Each structure stands twice: as C-alpha cells, then as structure tokens.
Amino acid sequence: MTLTKPQRVPAPGLPARVHVYEVGARDGLQNERQVVPTEVKAEFVERLVAAGLRTVEATSFVPASWVPQLSDAEDLVGRLPTVEGVRFPVLVPNVKGLQRALDSGVTDVAVFASATETFSQRNLNRSVAESLEMFAPVIETARSAGAGVRAYVSMVCGDPWEGAVPIEQVTAVATRLRQLGAQQVCLGDTIGAGTPGHVRALVRSLVAAGLPVEDVAVHFHDTYGQALANVLAALEEGVTTVDSSAGGLGGCPYAESATGNLATEDLVWQLDGLGIETGVDLHALVRTSLWMAGELGRPSPSRTVQALATSVGAAA
C-alpha cells in the first residue's frame, strides 16, 4: 500500500514556512521540443494556482527566435487568472522585453544573469560585466513602474565549460544585482552539480556580503540527485524561498547538461515531512502533473508523482 502523505517529524532550526516559487510554466516548458498550445499552458497555470501555489512564473518575454516555445507570452499573460495574493512573474532579457511585459500588465519580472563568462556569452551574447550593464536600466525601469524584480544568478555551483566556479565570483555578481535594485536574488545551480556544503558556503557568502537571507532564493536541478539535499542545507542556513517545477519539468536550452528541475511534488513531500508549511495541496499538484504529462505524451520524472499516481488518480 502506498503512503499518500509523509509522517510529520519536525527538525530543529528550520523555518516554519517555505514559499514555493513554481517555475514549471516557464522554465519547465521552455525546453520542450513540441509546441505546447497556449490554452494548455493557461490551464496548467490555473491548475497550479488551484493547488495552492502563490507564485507561478508564467513565461518569458524573449524574442521568438530565442525560445520559440515562449513566443505566445502576451497571449498567455492575457489568459492568466486574477487571484488575490497570487503573483505571475515573467522573465525579461532587456528593456524591450520589459516594456512588452509592462504593456501586458505584468507586475513582477525577473532577469537572468550568469556567474560565468562562457555561459553569459552563450545565453546573452555578452560578458558578465556587459550583461550587468544591460540589466541596470531594466531593473531601474521595472522598479520605477512599481514592478517587483527578482535576479537569477546561473551556474553558481559549476559550469560545463569552465568547471568550478569560485564562490566569490558568484557573490560579486549577486551583490551587484542587489545594488542595481533587485529585491530578491536567486542562486541557480543550472547543471545540478552542487552539494550541501557548497550551498551552505554560497548562502553564507551572500549574507556576509550584505544580502539579507530572507531575500535569497535557491533554484536546484537534480542532475546528480542532490537537489533535495541542497534544499535542506539552504533551509538550515535560513533560506525560505525555494524554486521548483511541477512534475520535474525543465532544463536549460543553452546548457545541454542541465537536466530537469527539482520536482515541486518531491519538494512539498519533504517539507511536509519536516513539518514546514507551504500551503500547497500535494494531491492536487500530483493530479496536475499527471494531466500535463498526458499533454506532453510522456510520464513525469517526479518520484512523488510516480509513487502517488495510482492512489491519487489523474485529473480529467
């Protein structure tokens, strides 16, 4: 018989509540080869919100030639539900993308910087310094318009072209983004190479550099099976915002070694077992991921989705 929920055994020193930052609709779908219809994306977002997720990163306002899957950004944003307390951030690469987002009524945006030169060139066709110069007016304009701003820093635990990434290098990029006005900085382990000790050192370095731990988020990929261990290490350091993707969807189109994101269901199972509140209905979320797996024509890689599939049942 399959257990449908974990036994709650709280651990000392952990936050009472964690904010789950859902990235499935954007980071999860952006690497799909088949184009997902806009109406399916909209229903996906609606189901995620109905499952209790309060932040759902919806799409990215990038040129269609960069990520064809997200070429329907304006259309999708126009279909998003209006739910009190729910935010739908979008990724913007530059001022032009930001203006498109603001014109569409978006109230929260994110920029995507790199801690390494090679990935910055591959992803943005700019050096790290040039990318930060590009983001300065984006962040300033967004803040002036009253929008919330998150800044991702990618490749924080390793780079497939450059190898090890010095912690001080990550800290320098993160603190500069904070100085430019980003309200939250998210550490992205883009290729999933991080381990708990590394994560602890990264968070401590950012805090020592002046970033309040409550404004630090983490984004782990599970390439080497370390994502949940890394989440626990981050929580023990005081981090309370964790990114994840429903069903474990996603990867990075500019880093082929980046496999799926941490599955939201796996994260919620762990947090629930630790007695940490998330506000997420795990069974509703599993049904959502089973439904999306059907739309994509393949099973979800999430261990929790697989374990609960029979007992929870797919949504119609």
Which residues are marked as active site? 252
Nearest to 195 by CA among 165, 220, 159: 220
Task: State the virtual CA torsion across 102, 104, 105, 110 in degrees, nearest 10.
Answer: -50
11-to-6, 267, 268 alpha-carbon distances in Å: 14, 16, 15
- In the sheet with 108-114, reading across from the earlier edge strand, the strands are 55-56, 19-22, 241-244, 216-220, 184-189, 148-154, 108-114, 90-91, 59-60
DSSP label at residue 262: P
Q: Compute the distance between CA of residue 70 and CA of residue 92 in angstroms, rounded to an integer.
A: 12
Q: Compute the distance between CA of residue 295 and CA of residue 304 in angstroms, rounded to an integer.
A: 19
Q: How many residues does the chain have?
A: 316
162, two tokens: 């450059």
DSSP label at residue 27: I
Task: State the virtual CA torsion across 111, 277, 292, 220 in degrees, nearest 10.
Answer: 40
Nearest to 177 by CA among 200, 143, 145, 201: 143
Strands (E), 68-196: 90-91, 108-114, 148-154, 184-189
CB 309 within 8 A of CB 267: no
